[in-house]
Structure 1
Amino acid sequence: MTAAEHRVQVLVIGGGQAGLAAGYHLRRAGLDFAILDAAPAPGGAWQHYWESLRLFSPAAYSSLPGRPMPGQAGTEWPDAEHVAEYLAEYEKRYELPVHRPVGVASVTNAGDGGLLVRTDEGDWHARALVSATGSWTRPFVPAVPGRELFTGRQLHTTGYHRATDFTGRRVVVVGGGNSGAQIAADLVGHAAAVRWVTRRPARLLPDEIDGRALFEIATRRVQDGGPRISDLGDIVATEPVRAARRAGLLTDHRMFTALTPAGPRWADGEPWPADAIVWCTGFRPALVHLAPLALRTGARGRIATTGTRAVSDPRIHLLGYGDWTGPASATLIGVGRTARQAVAEITGLLN
């Protein structure tokens, strides 16, 4: 199979919420495009989240462009399964040209001003590319001394599914963000003991701040330099988190200094025997496919962007990577606006 057999104006890599939002605006712009998704089924990362996860916002405030998310019976706050079903329906509704499962190996210069994308299902040629691969496939775990010595179970957020898997166990949850707080609260009442560990004191956002408010804050920040979300706190105070805190069952502890075969050990020598550690320590953008283009710069190896466009290559847009392309671009409600801007730039480049 040659590059000429798959030739489009724009190729989107990633079939989650960011890729679908890009597809929606590419279709409206009348561009010839395709979406490549490595997953065997639609739904993006939402099909892999833990069972108790709920959106921060009601369905009406968690929609992709053109199609409001329907509500979920019995709750104001839809769960991850509902979101995955919504994404699958969205993809079908707009007849988006998603090819799956297709694993992308690399993106290189084609020699004619275009881009050559090599995949495990053949090659593609495109004049512009939207990378919307997210970060779920690149979980990050810090290099804690003794991590390889611990004899209990270690898993990342990506491997956590339900609290009942840890019934009667002593569990350490590491991470001061939303996933750490929510998983620790989820475990309370099931695990024999839960110790929530964070690098700095946990900062819950005010109770009235949900996903709607977060999007508004992020938007104002971009438009007029308003307050940053991090100025207010780090964790959305969902009801399970608030309830566990009120009951005195969810207290954050500072980070341990090392792991022993039996569990964590703190600087003062205090041990805490544990059966499992859940690392809720974040992710890194899944961008290895762009490595041949040498877009990364600086000591931290980030791809410099203006909006979503790579500064060093106007053919490349990054969509849905949070801090790299704006916090709103990593949200259901925010990615549509960001995708629209990216497609507008791509249309200008191609015309």
Structure 2
Amino acid sequence: MTQHFDLIVIGGGQAGLAAAYAARDAGLSAVVLEASQRTAGSWPHYYDGLTLFSPARRSSLPGLPFPADPDRYPARDEVVAYLSDYAAWLGADIRTGHRVSKVASAGSDEFEVSADGGRSFTAPMVIAATGAFSRPYQPDLPGLESFTGTVLHSSAYRRPEPLAGRRVVVVGGGNSAVQIAIELAEHAHVSLATRHPLRFMPQRLLGRDIHLWFGWSGLDTAGWARPLLTGGRGTPVLDTGAYRKTIASGRPDRRPMFTRLDGDQVLWSDGTRERVDAVLLATGYRPGVDYLAGLGALDAGGRPLHRGGISLTHPGLGFVGLEWQRSFASATLRGVGPDARHVLARLSRRSTRGGRTGLTAG
């Protein structure tokens, strides 16, 4: 039997929960379809030592503050618990164990969403909220496919002990790459390989976390701030000074990206060769939205065709939780709430039911 709603949200992590909150505020009937058995998104699968790069006061979903010292940086398991508590507090219609396999057009103003087990749902609006961290990205590095050592993406890394005593190259220059490399270097011989020199940004400025300054200045939510914050080389590494000092000490050492891998060896840019036990790819993720492929809503690389989270191909289709969707904060706990409200307001205006929502774009 097919069930009908005003809105179908695909994904029950932070982005999906924020979308459900916006729908509840708008008085819409909404269902959240989550593939796993819990409402914590990708967080349970991150490495054990992960801590947020923003303090608790800047790490909340709409309506429910993060339950921790406002200036403390919460750990992974605290975020998992918070998301589970948020889902219970929200009281939305969340269907776990519902992996979406396909979204199709069902007439001019409707979508049909198919989930495993032959379950079917229709609605004039769909928000894809499976986020930016559900599909690990493995770059096409020369020799990687034939490398005889261990190749591990950061999504599969949990703790340093299994790699203790081994020679490891961590690939990547972002926050997670630096955090993992430093953690690993306490147990293994680690090099951090990056295409560009690391760019550090102070975690605190004049005694305040940098995210508070971003909020006060407007950089947090300004789309035009991307070139200023990234310099065309990705998001800088937030640092109290400890990361820079540790890497300067050589544990781990930072090196220019290797030229290629050859058997169990790495060929460095200076021409030297070295045997390596493992390559750990902290190279990020891509949006997991394959269920939209048949709809024609993705580009040739499988990325959503959108502007600010609004589909460029299908009225009524939106996205929440993509990196730089509208701002620096878009893929964060604090950013998905404003983005969800903005997207749902825009979709409602374009939907045949838009006149009933009372939403205003945020």
Q: TM-score, normalised by structure 1?
A: 0.91
CA shift in 2, pair 1:338/1:198, >3 Å: same
Q: Which moved more, 1:119-128 or 1:234-243?
A: 234-243
Contact (CA 8 Å) 2:202, 2:240: kept in 1 or not? no
Match of 1:91 in 2: 87
Q: Which runs of 5+ in 2 are unaligned?
A: 356-362
- For residue 274 of structure 1, report the CA deviation from its aligned partner: 1.4
Q: Report if aligned partners of 1:103, 1:119 keep a CA contact under 8 Å in 2.
A: yes
Q: CA deviation at 1:238?
A: 5.0
How many Å separate the matches in 2 of 1:63 and 1:243? 31
Letter in 1 for 2:311: A
Are the aligned partners of 1:49 and 1:161 in contact in 2 as well (CA < 8 Å)?
yes
**C-alpha distance in structure 2 between counterparts of 1:304 and 1:54, whole Å:** 32
In structure 2, what is the Cα distance between the partners aligned to 1:111 and 1:220? Answer: 36
Inter-partner Cα distance in structure 2 for 1:226 and 1:47: 29
For 1:272-322, what per-residue CA distance to the aligned partner results, in whole angstroms no more than 9, with x for missing partners? 21111110111111111111121235x766433232111221210011111
What's the secondary structure of 1:102's corresponding residue?
coil
Residue 256 of structure 1 corresponds to 258
The aligned counterpart of 1:291 is 293
Moved more, 257-266 or 182-191: 257-266
- 2-structure distance, mates of 1:130, 1:316: 6
Which letter maps to 1:230? T
- Residue type matched to 1:338 in 2? D
Q: How far is the alpha carbon of 1:136 from its aligned partner?
A: 3.0
Distance verdict in 2 for CA 1:214–1:165, change over 3 Å: farther
1:157 is matched with: 154
CA-to-aligned-CA distance 1:231-277 (integer Å, 9 cap, x gap): 39621115652442353323321111111222311244311211111
Q: Which whole-Å CA distance do the structure 1 matches of 2:7 and 2:98 have between them?
A: 16
- What are the within-5 Å matches in structure 2 for residues 62-211 of structure 1? 62-71=59-68, 76-111=72-107, 113-121=109-117, 122-191=119-188, 193-208=189-204, 210-211=210-211
Residue 128 to residue 158, structure 1, CA distance change in 2 (3 Å): same
Q: Residues 65-90 of structure 1: CA distance to partner in whole angstroms, max 9, x if unpaired?
A: 000001069x8111010001000000
Corresponding pairs, count: 344
The alpha-carbon deviation at position 207 of structure 1 amounts to: 4.2
TM-score by length of 2: 0.88
Structure number with higher helix proportion? 1
Q: Supply the AA of the counterpart residue of 1:345.
A: R
Work out the CA distance in 2 between the residues paired with 1:174 and 1:258.
12
Aligned counterpart, 1:229 = 229
- Counterpart-to-counterpart distance in 2, 1:178 and 1:226: 17
State the shift of 1:165 in Å.
Answer: 2.1
Q: Residue 44 of structure 1 aligns to a residue in which SS?
A: coil
C-alpha distance in structure 2 between counterparts of 1:214 and 1:256, whole Å: 35
Cα drift, residue 183 of structure 1: 0.7
Residue identity over aligned pairs, in percent, reads 36
Contact between 1:182 and 1:240, CA under 8 Å: does it hold in 2? no
